[in-house]
Amino acid sequence: MATLVPAVVASAAWAAWLGWDQHRDVQPDGTTTGPYEAWQVIGLVLTLLVPVYWAASRHQVAGAVLGTTVGLTAAAWYDWSDDSSGLFVVGVGMVMVGSLVLTAAVSAVISALKQDGR
């Protein structure tokens, strides 16, 4: 349960925050940005703090880390797999490693603070 909840929330949060924005913005000088804006990624991260806190505060650090990582990695793979260049695999790998490292750090801090009774 501590792995399933973060995984489902991570996938749903990806769809809610990032899944609908698929176009790149063309700037007046011809450069392109996107498809995501900073506020979308920040919203995703803040949303994911809820299930990570839920699992880590119950000392289910592995569930928080693995669930969030699997959910984000699966969502990124699904969202980006239509890229014909194949470079989406690099991006998915970056999502996987980044979410694994950051979720592990945040979960460890939450678990340690909850162990101290705070």
- For 33, list phi and psi in degrees, rounded to 5: -135, 165
User: Per-residue pLDDT for the chain (118 aa), expressed as one digit of tens each?
Assistant: 778 999 999 999 999 999 887 777 788 888 877 788 889 999 999 999 999 999 998 889 999 999 999 999 999 999 988 888 888 999 999 999 999 999 999 999 998 888 766 5
What pTM does this model have? 0.88
Other beta carbons less than 10 A from residue 20's beta carbon = 9
Domain extent, residue 44, equals 4-115
**How many domains does one find in the chain?**
1
- What does the pLDDT read at residue 36? 86
Distance between CA 60 and CA 17 in Å, rounded? 26
- Is residue 33 helix, strand or coil? strand
Q: How many whole angstroms separate alpha carbon 11 and alpha carbon 48?
A: 10
